[in-house]
A and B are shown apart, each in its own frame.
Chain A
């Protein structure tokens, strides 16, 4: 009798709360001041507004992904967010085993009836950052440091270069990828060295899309008295006056929106893409970079943003 009562009680609770959410962060952890942190901000906002706490896990080893997702699903978590392209295969594996659990994969594509795939048009924010870089560069040379050499990062690079050429067709863009393994996301020493090599060739603004490696890139720019552009989260505060702007990727918005939809029962599986039009990507402007991102540059960026949203300016997209 008591057991049945308990069961009814817990079932009632589950109904009242709607969802029992969990999130799996990728390498770097939820305080990486970048991609994962953005996701954790979305979680924090959702928890603040609804009082529903997320269970979370920070992956430190590739084999943990499948295990932890299974664990969560088995323990009654019915809404699981997987952050990062490298979790796509784990979601693909676990999702069919738990058809009642709703999965969200950020930066990946999984075609299953209980998975929502969220992607971003990073090329659009990168385009604006490329413009900002070209407008701020005095030497007519700018740099790009990517993390792991994957199509996602090529997307950033391509948009960045196109944005720079949009402002100055003759601009020279140096491009470096840190490596071809996941360790490329966490090699600040190499990031700094790559940035220095680009400065040596004359670049005076460098954009990183390299996770933890980017910390080294921004440090090198600060040390050399030059400019850097942050990525994913707003990183302007890390080196005030040296970080020109940050290419924002609103993973927080995506996580918050998906969780809210799941709670309201309006969640649907399928593919969603966030771009400038949806405010899913953008560039940052705050008190830390106000002095270097001048109103003149801001106006150019805002104009370009409108043009991109209206389809008057085409941003090239990287195709695999």
Chain B
């Protein structure tokens, strides 16, 4: 029974850790399927984390924070879109520039506005954060041993944004595969000339795709700042944007495999924090450095040999010029 409880808690932690990855990775998927490299996820997430924490701290409302986070994500996405689509700049350079600028400008603004060493004030009032939602009957269910605990700990007790992320994956898949917009978007990523021939603007589709990635990264950043923790801290995304990108590649640019990859990364992360200092049979206590590196090492290993051939959208990274 105790093992069962531990497993349930481990899975619940997996869901919490996976949420920002899933949101960002799905955003990245939209961007890349339209042919724009999504290296800017990290910066968009970080910018959104700062904007949401700052607005939530000043206004006292987590919802306004979410709005600000999404707006910040979209604003940065537009910057990338203008550079990469309108001016046909190098996508890697533009995205990295955004990442670097955001990493510097957020603590600077934080320092100027709040005087807390670049952090935002602690979000301590209940309304400032997306608190954990206890679903109806979760307390009662706890007394039922096996399925009750599953419901009380794994299904219930997450932030609203977690449920949102769970709903966004099938919604995203539907948009991508079942709507006209999705079809055009995927076509733009493969063969923009053909799309242009059909009388559809490649630039418009790419703009929309990048904005969607900004919107979703914005939600991811908001989750980090106002649900998973309580405020913005310098570099708080700590590489999650790149991890999301890796998950998306690992998921072969498809929504559900990408979700699976995010869950796997989150699982290794959650498992790692529980393995630390625990003596295991045969190997003994695993050093902390190894544990911290585990998700990344796993990524490299899996990408190197276990996922088969991952084929990127054909026109990815290539700016589209009509008059070529």
Q: Which residues of A contact B (CB under 8 A)?
A: 27-33, 36, 58, 60, 149, 174-177, 179-180, 183, 186-194, 196-197, 200-201, 212, 215-216, 219, 223, 238-239
Q: Are A177 and B228 in contact (CB under 8 A)?
A: no
A208 smallest CB distance to B (angstroms): 13
Q: Are B229 and A188 in contact (CB under 8 A)?
A: yes
Q: Are B124 and A239 in contact (CB under 8 A)?
A: yes
Q: Are A58 and B132 in contact (CB under 8 A)?
A: no
Q: Are B276 and A177 in contact (CB under 8 A)?
A: yes
A96 smallest CB distance to B (angstroms): 31
Determine the distance from Cα of A135 to Cα of B111 in the docked complex, in whole angstroms: 40
Determine the distance from Cα of A215 to Cα of B234 in the docked complex, in whole angstroms: 13
Q: Are B292 and A179 in contact (CB under 8 A)?
A: yes
B12 smallest CB distance to A (angstroms): 8
Q: Are B273 and A28 in contact (CB under 8 A)?
A: no
Which residues on the A side are within 8 Å of B117 (C-beta)? Answer: 28-32, 36, 58
Determine the distance from Cα of A183 to Cα of B234 in the docked complex, in whole angstroms: 9
Q: Are A29 and B231 in contact (CB under 8 A)?
A: no
Let me know if B156 is at the binding interface, CB within 8 A.
no
Determine the distance from Cα of A183 to Cα of B95 in the docked complex, in whole angstroms: 22
13 contacts between A and B (CB under 8 A): A60-B118, A180-B288, A186-B235, A189-B238, A191-B229, A192-B228, A197-B274, A200-B10, A212-B119, A215-B231, A216-B228, A219-B230, A239-B124
Chain A, Cβ-Cβ closest to B237? A189
Chain A, Cβ-Cβ closest to B110? A29
Q: Are A187 and B292 in contact (CB under 8 A)?
A: no
Q: Are B236 and A149 in contact (CB under 8 A)?
A: no
Q: Which residues of B contact A (CB under 8 A)?
A: 5-6, 9-10, 13, 16-17, 107, 111, 115-119, 122, 124, 131-132, 224, 228-231, 233-236, 238, 269-270, 273-274, 276-277, 288-289, 292
Q: Are B276 and A183 in contact (CB under 8 A)?
A: no
Chain A, Cβ-Cβ closest to B274? A197
Which residues on the B side are within 8 Å of A200 (C-beta)? Answer: 5-6, 9-10, 13
Which residues on the A side are within 8 Å of B292 (C-beta)? Answer: 179-180
Residue of A177, A179, A212, A239 touching B233 (CB-CB under 8 A): A212
Q: Are B236 and A187 in contact (CB under 8 A)?
A: yes
Residue of B122, B236, B274 touching A238 (CB-CB under 8 A): B122
Which residues on the B side are within 8 Å of A239 (C-beta)? Answer: 124
Q: Are B115 and A31 in contact (CB under 8 A)?
A: yes
Determine the distance from Cα of A223 to Cα of B228 in the docked complex, in whole angstroms: 11
The 4 residue pairs across chains A and B that have the minimum distance between CB atoms: A29-B117, A200-B9, A188-B229, A31-B117
Chain A, Cβ-Cβ closest to B108? A60
Q: Are B276 and A176 in contact (CB under 8 A)?
A: yes
Q: Are A215 and B230 in contact (CB under 8 A)?
A: yes
Chain B, Cβ-Cβ closest to A177? B288
Which residues on the A side are within 8 Å of B235 (C-beta)? Answer: 183, 186
B244 smallest CB distance to A (angstroms): 14
Which residues on the A side are within 8 Å of B131 (C-beta)? Answer: 223
Q: Are B273 and A193 in contact (CB under 8 A)?
A: yes
Determine the distance from Cα of A211 to Cα of B311 in the docked complex, in whole angstroms: 43
Which residues on the B side are within 8 Å of A32 (C-beta)? Answer: 117, 119
